[in-house]
Amino acid sequence: MRRARKVKILATLGPASSEEAVIEKLFEAGADVFRINMSHADHDLMRELVRRIRNVERKLGRPIGILADLQGPKLRVGKFKDGKVELTPGQIFTMDDDETPGDETRVFLPHPEILQAVQPGDRLLIDDGRLALQAEATDGKSIRCKVISGTKISDRKGVSLPDTTLPVGALTEKDRRDLDAVLLEDIDWVALSFIQRPEDLAEVRKIARGRVALMSKIEKPQAVTRLDEIIELSDALMVARGDLGVEMPLESVPGIQKQIVRACRKAGKPVVVATQMLESMISAPVPTRAEVSDVATAVFDGADAVMLSAESAAGDYPVEAVATMARIAEKVERDPNYPSIVNNQRSEPEATGADAVSLAARQIATTLNLSAIICYTSSGTTGLRASRERPLTPIIALSPVVETARRLSLVWGLHCVVTEDAHDLDDVVNRACHLAYREDFAKPGDRVIITVGVPLRTPGNTNMLRIAYIGMDGLTGI
């Protein structure tokens, strides 16, 4: 099942898409990776969804990636005597450690770490920014605030802190339990919510011990300021525009999106653009023109993947949303301006043999008009380096490790195929040519270029190129 696009689609599963038959339809419509949101899925549901995805994988014979998205810290106010209160801009409103139900002057804040960390001048955004407060005085047990904008607050509404770095990690007790459960299943990626600093990744790395790849969700201003450090310690990033748009001015989000995408491309790390991409398709069979442009922008920027959240999880048209996103991506990638835009954003290779080989493979494939670039990769490094070059020539990532193929299914341009382990270099070339023929990338007489590390099974050791002809039997002709 060959995709007619290079950008990947990540679809969230939920009430509208949890049945195996629907998962199969979503994959056939264009979904490459499925997201399980641990904010809504318990462990039994998570395990059942993994089982259903793997059933679809076996039926269709294609590697499918699975992302488990941890909830992260959910900061909320307490309750009010009457469930809600009306406030007036300019008035004083206090958050404190008193568990008594709140009124129009105060409310309980069950997070001592916030009470101790917030400083005068810091903003506190309630209910996704619908109510904005600014701290005027703090004593470690209460925060005296001035209402800046908004007029309502009700029970258990969320609190965002765009100006405050909390002295706690990104993992909650629920996240730790969820992570332990996730690590027992065939799950490829774990997304970490509300990352503030690179240190937030250390605990997860220690627990995971390489069993899953880590994706950092960039949702907070503090993460943007330390972006390069977070990228270095992550396996991939997600531009989580929903929370970014709450904690930062909305007009800043498009520029930050481009900043993150370009930084990830430079580092050779996959990047996902997420949140509200086709939001209107939750209840409508077609998107708005603005949403189509939004998806197109992410594709033009060279993002590895674009993500659907409620559109595929709880919407009325989950399969149509995936198919629509696929059509938009295909159209953009056929646009005459697309090649020059992607080329202009290409980063310089690092001074390594592996980067030099990947660069040469792209240049040779373009110059000789080769049918495919074929990467033989056990760890996935060779595939990532080939994708970083953003060649217009199709890329086949050939791996004897099914977990590697599943992880790479998130990566731009990679058509992932699981194969038996090769015996030697000639076996690699023969397998590569046969699979290019079988997967309909090349026909007899065509040429392909193969990148591989010699000796085989040495991670990150991409050091060889070979051009091969496709013979009449689908194997190498020379």
Of the listed ranges 44-58, 276-290, 431-445, the least confidently predicted one is 431-445
- Around Cβ 13, how many Cβ atoms within 10 Å? 28
Instruction: Give which of 5, 9, 10, 25 is closest to 317, Cα–Cα.
Output: 25
In three-state form (DSSP H/G/I as H, E/B as E, the rest C), the secondary structure along 142-156 is EEEEEEEECCEEECC
Provide the percentage of residues in the chain whose pLDDT is more than 90: 88
Helix, strand, coil: what percent of the chain each, to 5? 35, 25, 40
Please indicate whether residue 275 is annotated as part of the active site: yes
For residue 434, what are the contacts with CB-CB under 8 A and spacing of at least 6?
474, 475
Q: Which residues pair with 9 in a beta bridge?
A: 306
Find, among 213, 80, 223, the residue nearest to 155 by Cα.
80
Please tell me the predicted confidence (pLDDT) of residue 455: 82
Q: Are strands 131-138 and 123-126 parallel, antiparallel or unpaired?
A: antiparallel
79 is an active site residue: no
Q: In 3D, which of 133, 138, 124, 128 has the Cα closest to residue 96?
A: 138
Contact 467, 370 (CB under 8 A): yes
The active-site residue, picked from 12, 138, 164, 275, is: 275
Active site residue 404: no
Could you give phi then psi for residue 394, rounded to 5 degrees? -60, 145
* 297 has catalytic annotation: no
The pLDDT of residue 340: 93
Other beta carbons less than 10 A from residue 76's beta carbon: 15
Q: Report CA-CA distances (Å) from 456 to 14, 376, 379, 468.
A: 41, 9, 11, 19
* Measured distance CA(449)–CA(432) in Å, rounded: 9
Q: What is the pLDDT of residue 423?
A: 86
Determine the pLDDT at residue 476.
64
* Residue 454's pLDDT band (cuts 50, 70, 90): confident
Q: How far apart are CA 377 and CA 399, in angstroms?
A: 5
Q: How far apart are CA 394 and CA 379, in angstroms?
A: 20
Q: Which residues pair with 238 in a beta bridge?
A: 217, 272
Angle between helices 173-182 and 200-208 (to 10 degrees): 30
Statement: residue 90 has pLDDT above 90: yes
Active-site entry in 3, 25, 54, 76: 76
Domains of the chain (ranges plus CATH)?
8-72+170-335 (3.20.20.60), 84-160 (2.40.33.10), 353-469 (3.40.1380.20)
pTM of the model: 0.94
Q: Which of 47, 197, 217, 241 is catalytic?
A: 217
Interacting residues of 363 by C-beta distance below 8 A, sequence separation 6+ = none
What per-residue confidence (pLDDT) applies to 255?
Answer: 96
**What stretch of H or E contains 299?**
helix 289-301
Going by the DSSP 8-state scheme, the letter that residue 102 receives in this structure is B
Q: How far is C-alpha 1 from the geometric centre of its chain's CA atoms?
A: 22
Q: With H, G, I as helix, E, B as strand and everything else as coil, classify residue 397.
A: strand
Question: Which pLDDT score, from 0 to 100, does residue 353 have?
Answer: 82
Q: Which two tokens stand for residue 64?
A: 């499918």
Dump pLDDT digits (tens) for 134-185: 999 999 999 999 999 999 999 999 999 999 999 888 899 999 999 999 999 9
In 3D, which of 442, 453, 441 has the Cα closest to residue 376? 453
pLDDT band at residue 471 using 50, 70 and 90 as cut-offs: confident
Q: What is the pLDDT of residue 348?
A: 80
Rounded (10°) angle between helices 253-267 and 289-301: 30
Determine which one of 35, 106, 197, 241 is catalytic: 35
Q: Is the pLDDT of residue 478 over 60?
A: no
What pLDDT, in 10s, does the model give residues 71-86? 999 899 999 999 999 9
Angle between helices 20-29 and 43-60 (to 10 degrees): 50
